[in-house]
Amino acid sequence: MCGKAKAGTALPTEFIHNERARVTEWRFMKRGDNTGWHRHEYDYVVIPLFDGFLEIDNGNGSITKAQMKTGVPYFRKMGVEHDVINGNDFECRFVEVEII
């Protein structure tokens, strides 16, 4: 995730970073762990590695609950600003692929 303005408590592990893509696994150990507020500078795909929910804080005072299904990816355009939060009572992970 690019443009990170405030560090969160989720643990990123970067697997690939080259001139075409950046692939990062995000690990949330417990409910409430978060990525930290950030803005995406590239289009990206997220592949959840769990069944459950992520809570998305878009900075407008409300939290959106997004359902995740193991292996079912979703795509977002660059420019998204948010903080992603573990909304589950268990550890969860996802892989993020940024298209540079």
pLDDT score, position 7? 84
The SS3 of residue 87 is coil
6 pLDDT band, cuts 50/70/90, is low
The SS3 of residue 89 is coil
Total-model pTM: 0.92
The span from the CA of 10 to the CA of 72, in Å, is 21
Q: Which superfamily does 11-99 belong to?
A: Jelly Rolls (2.60.120.10)
Read off the pLDDT of residues 12-51 as tens digits, 9 standing for 90 and up: 999 999 999 999 999 999 999 999 999 999 999 999 999 9
Q: Where are the domains of the chain?
A: 11-99
**Mean pLDDT value across the chain:** 94
74-86 average pLDDT score: 97
